[in-house]
Amino acid sequence: MELPELKIYDMPRAAHVTRWHAVNSIKKPSVAAHSWLVNRYAVHLAKKIIGDSLTIEKLFAMSEYALVHDCVEILTGDVSSRLKKYISLVSDGISPITTVEDKIAPWIKTMKDELQDKAPELLLIVKLADLIDALVFITVEGIGPHARDVEKRLDKMLKDKFVEAVETYPQYNWHEATHFVTKLIESEGMAQIAFEAGTNGDREKECDEKFIRLFGEVNWTSS
């Protein structure tokens, strides 16, 4: 059987295909919304973490991949990472889901492989951005005990990935990620609230004070 291949003409559907079906939440983000946020987070983090050694060519390649990294879900829907893990376990480590995804969108796999070959640290940043978006979403939008459990697991996954980044590429400024994720969660809605209330200065000060309190409690080390 020949599988259909994801085309540029399929991209409008990214705004209609939703994620997080297995977790109760206030809303369900679309693949398009998730992709855009991962792109923005990855670009911001890459500039902060890599610094002056980051070339325009590598930044563009990472940005393009981040923007389409989950677009295969336009055809497959959102498959939970836990289900993928279970399928891999019963398939001797070779997940048929991954095989199908690579067949459906070989050009995304090519982009990922090239990034892995030329700038693996940027591929790691995309994964951090992906986890950050998931953590921020479920922290802000999640409802009930299951959502809180998922939040804890995502928090651990993000910290483990951060430790991996520090140990693999110690020359880069990975501490920027700690500031970023904490600020994201603590700043949720602050600018909009300040705009509506007309008290931007007070809101920014409140946000900064919250960040300082919370940031002191975040431990992103392997110990």
- Domains along the chain? 11-173 (1.10.3210.10), 187-223 (no CATH)
Tens-digit pLDDT string for the chain (223 aa): 677 899 999 999 999 999 998 899 999 999 999 999 999 999 999 999 999 999 999 999 999 999 999 999 999 888 877 787 788 888 776 778 888 889 999 999 999 999 999 999 999 999 999 999 999 999 999 999 999 999 999 999 999 999 999 999 999 999 888 888 888 887 766 666 666 666 555 555 565 555 555 544 445 444 4
Cβ atoms of residues 129 and 42 within 8 Å: yes
The string of pLDDT tens digits covering residues 9-58 is 999 999 999 999 889 999 999 999 999 999 999 999 999 999 999 999 99
Distance of CA 161 to CAs 42, 99, 127, 166, Å?
A: 14, 24, 8, 9
Q: What is the pTM of this model?
A: 0.84
Return the pLDDT at 198.
Answer: 60
Return the pLDDT at 88.
Answer: 80
Return the pLDDT at 84.
Answer: 78
Return the pLDDT at 207.
Answer: 55
Return the pLDDT at 223.
Answer: 43
Distance of CA 195 to CAs 37, 104, 140, 198, 206, Å?
A: 22, 44, 20, 5, 14
Return the pLDDT at 1.
Answer: 65
Instruction: Locate all alpha helices (DSSP H) within the chain, ordered by sequence.
Output: 31-50, 56-68, 73-76, 81-90, 96-104, 106-118, 120-141, 144-168, 175-186, 190-197, 200-215
